[in-house]
Amino acid sequence: MLGLVHPCKVYNMLAVNAPVIYVGPTPSHVTEILQRFPEYPQISVKHGEAFSLAAQIRQWAKSERGRGAAPEILPAYSKAALIPKMLAVIER
């Protein structure tokens, strides 16, 4: 399954400063991105871990963790930052 999850939605979430809930295989491209930013509001569980997900969402609701992200993360995932990197890969 590694590589089959398209990360575009994660980039969009990072760009708009939205919390991320990821349900899927580990490792994946999504979990690799999220591991770089442990302070970013995120929940990551594997398929079948519904009780863990529910518990984490309840905990999130009681805390400030799910409200807003670290602003320094956002520029790294903007169009201005990602398009030149993508073009460089394509041109190689």
Rounded CA separation 82/10 (Å) = 13
Structural domain for 77, as ranges: 8-91
Whether residue 13 lies inside any domain: the answer is yes
In the block, tokens 């956002």 appear at 74
Cite the DSSP H helix spans in the chain.
8-15, 29-35, 50-62, 79-91
Whether residue 47 lies inside any domain: the answer is yes
Q: What percent of the chain has pLDDT over 70?
A: 80
Instruction: Kindly state the average pLDDT of the residues 61-86.
Output: 73
Q: What is the mean pLDDT of the chain?
A: 81
Whether residue 1 lies inside any domain: the answer is no
Q: How many domains does the chain have?
A: 1
Give Cα separations from 20 to 68, 71, 81, 86, 89 (angstroms).
11, 15, 21, 23, 27
pLDDT in tens, 16-29: 778 889 999 999 88
